[in-house]
Amino acid sequence: MFKILIIGFLIVAFNVVLQAAASMYWLDKTKSVLNKWQNNVTHLRMFRILILSFLYLTFLHIIHAFVWAFSIDLLPKTSVDFNTFGDTFYYSIVTFTTLGYGDMTISSEWRMLSGFEAINGIMLIGWSTALMYSLIQGLYRSIGKVDQAS
């Protein structure tokens, strides 16, 4: 059981580092774009930033689920539960998002990883939600500066 806990924690840690790096990159990128636009933040530009941010974060979560699927697929006792990597990835997406259909499961003692993945997923999705909220606040502050300058 200790081995399962360590492996689960390492996968969680890797995904947290990935989320932190991706968040910092995206915040720096949006900040530089807003600085470039200075006092010319239009609703169309805000719309574009929000859509791209959402797509970026969705892609990031797909990568997180892929990391879990890849890790689960590497383990001999879990790989027997899935016919293809596509099945493992499907299981991972369903588990990461805490949807949990239950149509595919890990049958060995390694099923504890499912809980780790669900905790990881709900926390990272919450992190992305907070990031989007913060971004929206920043965009509206930028619009407020434009309105005051007019």
Tens digits of residue pLDDT in 61-83: 999 999 999 999 999 888 788 99
Q: Using the CB atoms, write b or e for 13-31: b if 16+ within 10 Å.
A: eebeeebeebbeebeeebe
Q: Are 13 and 120 in contact (CB under 8 A)?
A: no
Q: Tell whether the model's pLDDT for residue 145 goes beyond 80.
A: no
What pTM was estimated for this model as a whole? 0.88
Residue-wise pLDDT for 2-37, tens only, equals: 999 999 999 999 999 999 999 999 999 988 888 887
> What is the predicted pLDDT for the residue at 82?
92
